[in-house]
Amino acid sequence: MLIYRFLTGEDDSLFCHKVTKALSEGWQLHGSPTYAFDAVTKKMRCGQAVTRVAKDQPYDPDKKLIDF
């Protein structure tokens, strides 16, 4: 089963660490990153989709994606 997550955060080092942590846990980048201005907070926001294969596990909508 292919699992999909979309990581988001402010454009700062914490977002980069979030993506790097996901990659170190076996997630792979999926598509291009996104970048948008948040008019409410007046800050730039980033997003990056990641995927990972979870073998021999049925999908469970109550399970956190990071736990697959």
Question: Is residue 13 in a domain?
Answer: yes
pLDDT of residue 5: 94
pLDDT in tens, 8-53: 999 999 999 999 999 999 999 999 999 999 999 999 999 999 999 9
Q: Is residue 60 part of a domain?
A: no
Q: Do 46 and 17 touch, CB atoms closer than 8 A?
A: no
The tally of domains found in the chain comes to 1
Structural domain span for residue 43: 2-55
How far apart CA 59 and CA 14 sit, in angstroms, is 29
Residue 37 lies in a domain: yes
Rounded CA separation 32/34 (Å) = 7
Tell me, yes or no, whether 32 lies in a domain. Answer: yes
